[in-house]
Amino acid sequence: MKVLVVGNGGREHTIAWTLLKSPNVETVYCTPGNGGTATMANCFNLNLAVDDFQGIAQSVAEYNISLVVVGPEIPLSLGITDYLQEHNIAVFGPNKAGAQLESSKSWAKELMIQARIPTAKSVTFNNGDLAKAHIEQEDAPIVVKADTLAAGKGVIVAMTTEEAKAAVDSLLEQGFTTLVVEEFLAGEEASVLAITDGETIRPLIPSQDHKRVGEGDRGKNTGGMGTYAPAPIVTPELMEQIQTEVLEPTIAVLKQRGIDYRGVVYAGLMISPTGEPKVLEFNCRFGDPETQVVLPLLDTPLDELLIACTQKQLAQQPPIKWKTGSAVCVVAASGGYPDAYEKGKVISGIESATAQGAVVFHAGTAFKDNQLVTSGGRVLGITALGNNLKDAIAKVYPAVESISFEGMYYRRDIAHKALNH
């Protein structure tokens, strides 16, 4: 079969790479793809934007594609699934109504309240002065979020009242008109990605992202500086609790609202010091860079799971199989990220990293004058598998160190927290 992956990041490269490991998949097309997907065997980039729904539908017919997998949240929130389903195309990814789980923080909060899902208390504001008055009343630490999509950078965890009020001004200046102000939750974060056909929902292995740009979880929030899986903080008992208290109620309420949700439900969780899970946020797609550690550990052919979701047959699928061991991914970013950074820096050393057993997933790369160059803030995700976390950490960093481009920055403490569990 042939599959089309929509998107151009590290998540999409990982999805394409995983699909090509299946005996059922002969060819993967990526639109628009990146430097990594351009150089993979049996993988071809199509020069189409993620919101060119008509062009994507035409390519499906032209190349005899059996399945479309949508990577990023933007085309989902714009209704790519609705468009493709109208053209009788099998697509993995929720429709526009379902994508509100990520595209509107306030909508997602209302759903959580209706489903009685444990989450932080919050208030939604369309007025900056009212938001600031609420912050004064509640005091810090407190969290300020943009209500709509913000590429992972619309959340500010403010440790002082002044910082929180500055966050309100900053988000309003960036053009966000609706803000969600919510209580600060203490604990340790974890990500649980689950696949669903709208009736049945099955979790994938838990992972942990490192959102802050600086080591020791300091500095600004980013799209994610590295991940590891499985995350030991999510024990089998806790995963059972997440399944019954978070995942199943989410699908039940979506269904109640008449939403036929076929895709990923990504629950960003805070695990309290006493071990209780609360939902920080929902996303409507595979996480980035969580995908770069979860899918390399998957043993079941990915296409079989995704097709089962599109055909509403997930309940009939055998249990998902996983490789033993752990995976760690370290993101190599452009100097200056998540603020301003330069593009077009020549990348070297990927062959050396691969020779050491790492898998290098491209996130922000392109070819220019036959050279691989940087084209984004997060440039590469270097993933290594090991018998355990310590082993995977020991393998990933020498591979990272063999790669270079001008201004390259990465965190040296990815997954270290987990070694204490």
DSSP 182-219: EE---SEEEEEEEEE-SS-EEE---BEE--EEETTTEE
| Of 286, 178, 290, 193, nearest in space to 242 by CA | 193
| Of 223, 274, 276, nearest in space to 246 by CA | 276
- Residue-wise pLDDT for 145-204, tens only, equals 888 776 656 788 889 999 999 999 989 988 888 898 999 999 999 999 999 999 999 999
- 277 strand-pairing partners: 271
CA atoms of 258 and 237, how far apart (whole Å): 31
Which residues have CB under 8 Å from 298's CB, separation 6+? Answer: 18, 204, 320, 321, 322, 323
Domain 326-420 in CATH 1.10.10.60: no
Residues of the chain short of pLDDT 50, as ranges, are none
Which residues have CB under 8 Å from 334's CB, separation 6+? Answer: 341, 342, 343, 345, 364, 374, 376, 377, 378, 379, 407, 408, 409
- Residue-wise pLDDT for 59-72, tens only, equals 999 999 999 999 99
| Of 272, 202, 186, 294, nearest in space to 239 by CA | 202
Superfamily for the 188-316 domain: ATP-grasp fold, B domain (3.30.470.20)
- Examine residue 289 and say whether the peptide bond preceding it is cis (omega within 30 degrees of 0): yes
Q: Where are the domains of the chain?
A: 2-95, 123-183, 188-316, 326-420
Q: How many Cα neighbours within 13 Å face the side chain of 74?
A: 12
CB of 34 closer than 8 Å to CB of 9: yes
pTM of the model: 0.93
> For position 74, what pLDDT does the model report?
95
3-state DSSP assignment of residue 373: strand
- 44 strand-pairing partners: 29
CA atoms of 209 and 207, how far apart (whole Å): 7
Architecture of domain 2-95 in this structure? 3-Layer(aba) Sandwich (3.40)
Bridge-based pairing of strands 277-283 and 263-271 is: antiparallel
**Running DSSP on this structure, what letter comes out for residue 322?**
B
Measured from the Cβ of residue 47, the count of other Cβ atoms closer than 10 Å reads: 9
Dihedral (Cα; 49, 54, 59, 65), 10-degree rounding: 110
Rg over CA atoms, the chain: 20
CA atoms of 364 and 381, how far apart (whole Å): 10
Q: What is the CATH number of domain 123-183?
A: 3.30.1490.20
